[in-house]
Amino acid sequence: MEKNTGLKRIVYASWYSIKGLKAAFESEAAVRQEFLAILVLSPIAVMSDTTVVEKLLLFITLFLVLIVELLNTAVETVVDRVSFDIHELSGKAKDIGSAAVFVSILLAILTWFSILVV
């Protein structure tokens, strides 16, 4: 199979990325909730009386949660693709992915609280 290069590779990669976002949005409630959180919290970040760097940190943490959720969804999808049988390692992989999402949410909460409240 011939590999795409240059602009063609970028176009195909972008298409696959959009396809992945759409698939995650349609199949995962958590992804939809995180998109909603971005939509609701972004105006607050923009209108807050904070520095440009603080605004950037607020946005970064929101998108970091979404990024980690997408990676967690990918892990869960691969684990389910391999087998629906209950297995200790499958459960461990899913739990670790979930823990990563949890840590990213805690980081976002801590960042937002530190910047907007303290």
Above 80 in pLDDT, residue 1? no
Catalytic site residue from 28, 69, 76, 88:
69
CB 101 within 8 A of CB 30: yes
Above 90 in pLDDT, residue 13? yes
User: For residue 37, what pLDDT band results from cuts at 50, 70 and 90?
Assistant: very high
CATH architecture of 29-116: Orthogonal Bundle (1.10)
Q: Which two tokens stand for residue 75?
A: 């892990």
Above 80 in pLDDT, residue 64? yes
User: For residue 118, what pLDDT band results from cuts at 50, 70 and 90?
Assistant: confident
Cα–Cα distance for residue pair 81/63, rounded to 1 Å? 27
Active-site residue, 76 included: no
Above 90 in pLDDT, residue 3? no
Top pLDDT among 102 and 3 is at 102
Question: Which amino acid is it at 79?
Answer: V
Model pLDDT for residues 72-91, shown as the tens digit of each residue:
999 999 999 998 888 999 99
HEC string for 87-117: CHHHHHHHHHHHHHHHHHHHHHHHHHHHHHC
- Region 94-102 average pLDDT: 98
Name the residue ranges covered by the structural domains of the chain.
29-116
